[in-house]
Structure 1
Amino acid sequence: MAKYVASKLQENVSTISCPVPGCNGVLEPYYCRSILPKEVFDRWGDALCEKLILGFEKFYCPFKDCSVLLIDECRGGNFAITQSECPECKRLFCAKCKVAWHLGIMCEEFQKSNKDEKEKEEIQLMKLAKHRKWQRCPSCRIYVARNKGCNNMKC
């Protein structure tokens, strides 16, 4: 059974069907735990978690001294959660705007004022890039500076 599960994981399959011919069942990690080596069981758990996480939008805590990876489980739902707490640093942030909590300001109002600020920052960045002779990567558009080597850029 361990080799069967390991081979399925090697094939990037996380929902593993029963190996018995004609059986349409799916193996449950909980029931297989006692017969699988810890390494295989842990890999299976990681694969299942990764599959679950891939379905959600990911973002980082807006506080620079934290920046823990967070998952937006509410995106696309019929409800809108704005005020949220980072499970790592315990500080409040706006889940809709992905910034520190903006108490007393509606998201739409904050985003409008933030847009003006972002435009100013973008102009400053463009001036700095021109002054320092930075170029944008043709693939991802991030500014890069060549300090030596050829002109080839690759992400």
Structure 2
Amino acid sequence: MAKDEPSSSSASQSVFCKICMETAQAAEIFRNNNCDHAFCHSCLSRYIDVKVQEKCVLTAAVKCPEIGCEGALEPELFKHKLPQAVLVRWADALCELTLPTSRRLFCAQCKVAWHYGTSCGEFRKLEEGIEREREEDLLLLKVAKDKNWKRCPSCKYFVEKTGGCLHITCKCGFHFCYGCGMEYYSSQHSACGCSL
């Protein structure tokens, strides 16, 4: 049996549920690995659904229903036992968390500020795209440094001098000295002392 699934005894063993106060076959029982307390499927499903609807999930994990127990009930442990509708509501509730000090929404699944109008999956794709762009930007900066490219003082676009004099006309129309970056006032005059 996998460690992350609720454990169960043999099917013939009866287990007492402390919520409904009835016995049920072991196959009908959830046993939480975090605390080892056992409850019948239908009682625990209703309990979790009520906690999700009461928004108890937004401030803390759903706790074991056993009085005084601090064991957390985690969705992964019960994914094959709870009704799909309860699991969906539970997952949605876990995604929306309010930070108590700032009253700002926080996505507990992505661990970032709430991404309004974007699902967690879409947000991850956006983050991956941003990370790729960030890596490409860093690569461009490295190439520019290695090749000693200069930035246009006006538009900040990288310019590579491949030959000729130091007078550069950028694609934005700005004229500058490739040596020091000073602006050219005419095609032949610059305030810098660089030799053309």
Is TM more than 0.5 here?
no
TM-score scaled by length of structure 2: 0.32
Greater percentage in helix: 1
Greater percentage in strand: 2
TM-score scaled by length of structure 1: 0.39
